[in-house]
Amino acid sequence: MPSNQYDAIVIGSGISGGWAAKELCDAGLKTLLLERGRNVVHLKDYPTAAKDPWDFKYRRTLPLSVIKENPIVKKCYAFNETSQHFFVKDNEHPYVQEKPFDWIRGYQVGGKSLLWARQTQRWSRFDFEGPARDGFATAWPFTYEEFAPWYSHVELFAGISGNKDGLETLPDGEFLPAWQMNCVEKEIQQKINNSYHHRYVVQGRCAHLTTPQAVHLQQGRGQCQARSLCERGCPFGGYFSSNASTIPWAMKTGNLTLQTDAVVHSIIFDDKKNKATGVKVIDANTKQEKDYFAKIIFVNAGCLNSNLILLNSKSNRFSGGFGNDNGLLGKYICFHNYRGTVNATYEGPADKYYYGRRPTQPMMPNFRNVYKQETDFLRGYMVHFSASRGRATTNANEPEIGGNYKEAISEAGDWFVGAMMQGETIPKEKNHVRLSDDKKDAWGIPQLVTSVDYDDNDEKSLKDFLNQTAEMLDKAGCKNIEQYDSKQAPGLDIHEMGGCRMGNDPKTSLLNKWNQFHNCKNVFVTDGACMVSTSTQNPSLTYMAMTARAANYAVEELKKGNV
């Protein structure tokens, strides 16, 4: 049917899907954007964005019934009374945990771009060169130098705040003015930088508009107000989301069709044409099936959901899942190790404080195994840290009520320093996802089985982070230093990657350097599923740049008749 025909189909409206839609629509392609969840319109559908704590029945906490019903999603730091409507509840889309894995999801237009932590660092050449140099996974099929212009492309549009720090391990980008460190963070920065060679504390980079530029005003976005209520949806458009940025931009071209409540069942492959021709969709509410057709297809459902769709896309040509000639689809799943934290106190100035709720914090790019292998574990970790002041404490024997208590806690308390790790994990074939043989979801699609775990490399990296960070804070003058291992399951980092990785060799990868299937040129995967390795940096900026790069390549190949 003509109404089902498009130039391009994009599966998923999150960070990468929104970028695919924007780039394809900008190029003039009639594009269908499929979202399995409900519509969320910027400004209109942020019901809690302007509410005060006393406007909530439970004062922003969750009732015990919700906590008991959601043992997985309750672990996410952003899941509370103000934001729970943007999260998938545990019983809404079950999956099989062969090994513990906390899968955090957001099914609505914008996906988790409404919920992400918005930290945006470029990967360095060391991150892209790591797998080939250190002999794990497969080599990245392009270099940082090839990729860097696409970082610039998305940074300018999204709006990234940061400083030009001149570090080889953390390349500079196209930045808006950075947020400022507070006085104690500056003292710690100076002491650590002076105490170590090749260890640098810098201010965090984040997707927040500190000084909006013309392109951001054209998107209808405004300056970040430092409210730190981001998971509710930002009515100012102060941080980057698909809802505030790429999707409205694509809509303005007149080339975008948005279809919500569209659960993607599989990709349709035509054996005679030897290419994909469309997507099979199940209506989330009526359960009715409908097929949509297009010349090119972008898979951006989120790493594990993209793997699920591809594994379920079976045909005479691909009996083991879409493009899965080498049997590697769903394998080499990796993530970030977030288990380690180090806390301390600091004898900072009693007469100084700070204002606002800054959306980022200082960080230290990876310093382990950068220029050569120097430890008994591969790769390394990034360190995020911050300093803050709480309320003054009172005598434990005094009641926490009344005038004396009110006066006591009106004073600022001691300075507190907290640091956390973001460790690179090594992709391994045994870390995988697959389809369940007997369990199906509400739409008749096999449930996903997760079989992902830590290994000895992760344990050694964690131990090194704890020891090195404690040592650095000690040299910076911190006191009462305490180390913690949360022992949390993989997944809660919400940085799952892999399963449909890129590479030059079709025997060891599924996608080529343009995120295009080796054996089906008109299907592209540009979300976390395509990743070869994790780096120690946050991944979302790389997803955005990867998607913009692939979409522009796909448009050119379509014009040439190559897809």
Structure-token pair, residue 511:
């996608």
Structure confidence at residue 408 (pLDDT):
78
Residue type for 282, please? I
If one compares 410 and 197, the residue with the highest pLDDT of the two is 197
Q: Taking 90 as the threshold, does the pLDDT of residue 182 lie above it? A: yes
Nearest Cα to Cα of residue 4 among 283, 309, 257: 257
Handedness of CA 343, 463, 455, 300 (dihedral sign): positive
Structure-token pair, residue 186:
């500056």
d(CA 202, CA 295): 45
Tell me the H-state helices in 183-302. 183-195, 214-218, 247-252
d(CA 107, CA 88): 6
Q: Taking 70 as the threshold, does the pLDDT of residue 395 lie above it? A: no
39-55 CB burial, b ≥16 within 10 A, e <16 = bbebeebbebbeeeeee
Q: Taking 90 as the threshold, does the pLDDT of residue 375 lie above it? A: yes
- The answer to whether the pTM exceeds 0.75 is yes
Contact 477, 508 (CB under 8 A): no
In the chain, what percentage of residues exceed pLDDT 90? 94
Q: Taking 90 as the threshold, does the pLDDT of residue 23 lie above it? A: yes
Query: DSSP 3-state assignment of 387?
Result: strand
Structure confidence at residue 7 (pLDDT):
98
In the chain, what percentage of residues exceed pLDDT 70? 99
Q: Within a 10 A sphere around the Cβ of 129, how many other Cβ atoms?
A: 14
Q: Mean pLDDT, to the nearest integer, of 178-207?
A: 97
Q: How far does Cα 514 stand from its chain's mean position?
A: 21
pLDDT digits (tens, 9 = 90+) for 491-535: 999 999 999 999 999 999 999 999 999 999 999 999 999 999 999
Q: Taking 80 as the threshold, does the pLDDT of residue 183 lie above it? A: yes
169-180 CB burial, b ≥16 within 10 A, e <16 = bbbebbbbebbe
> What element of type H or E holds 98?
none
Tell me the H-state helices in 381-506. 403-409, 456-475
* CA atoms in the 13 A half-sphere facing the CB of 540: 26
Contact 292, 281 (CB under 8 A): yes
pLDDT digits (tens, 9 = 90+) for 303-340: 999 999 999 999 999 999 999 999 999 999 999 999 99
Q: Taking 70 as the threshold, does the pLDDT of residue 32 lie above it? A: yes
Q: Mean pLDDT, to the nearest integer, of 33-51?
A: 98
Query: DSSP 3-state assignment of 524?
Result: strand
pLDDT digits (tens, 9 = 90+) for 245-303: 999 999 999 999 999 999 999 999 999 999 999 999 999 999 999 999 999 999 999 99
Residues 6 or more apart in contact with residue 486 via CB below 8 angstroms: 338, 339, 340, 341
What is the pLDDT confidence band of residue 403, given thresholds at 50, 70 and 90? confident
Structure confidence at residue 505 (pLDDT):
98
What is the pLDDT confidence band of residue 1, given thresholds at 50, 70 and 90? low
pLDDT digits (tens, 9 = 90+) for 432-456: 999 999 999 999 999 999 999 999 9
Length of the chain equals 563
Where do we find the tokens 């996410």?
76
Average pLDDT for the chain? 96
Structure confidence at residue 3 (pLDDT):
76
Structure-token pair, residue 355:
């204002």
Structure confidence at residue 2 (pLDDT):
65
Tell me the H-state helices in 265-320. 303-312
Structure-token pair, residue 336:
């970030």
Instruction: Kindly list the structural domains of the chain, giving each domain's residue range(s) and its CATH number in brackets, ordered by start.
Output: 2-119+228-335+430-453+492-560 (3.50.50.60), 173-203+339-378+380-425+454-489 (no CATH)
Instruction: Give the N- to C-terminal CA distance of the chain in Å, as an integer.
Output: 22
Structure-token pair, residue 384:
């995020």
Strands (E), 409-469: 412-424, 432-440, 446-451
pLDDT digits (tens, 9 = 90+) for 337-356: 999 999 999 999 999 999 88
Structure confidence at residue 400 (pLDDT):
79
What is the pLDDT confidence band of residue 482, given thresholds at 50, 70 and 90? very high
pLDDT digits (tens, 9 = 90+) for 471-481: 999 999 999 99
Q: Within a 10 A sphere around the Cβ of 237, how many other Cβ atoms?
A: 25
Q: Mean pLDDT, to the nearest integer, of 94-123?
A: 98
> What element of type H or E holds 186?
helix 183-195
If one compares 514 and 2, the residue with the highest pLDDT of the two is 514
| Beta bridge mates, 167 | 170
| Beta bridge mates, 32 | 9, 257
Structure confidence at residue 410 (pLDDT):
81
Nearest Cα to Cα of residue 85 among 55, 52, 108, 51: 108
Structure confidence at residue 41 (pLDDT):
98
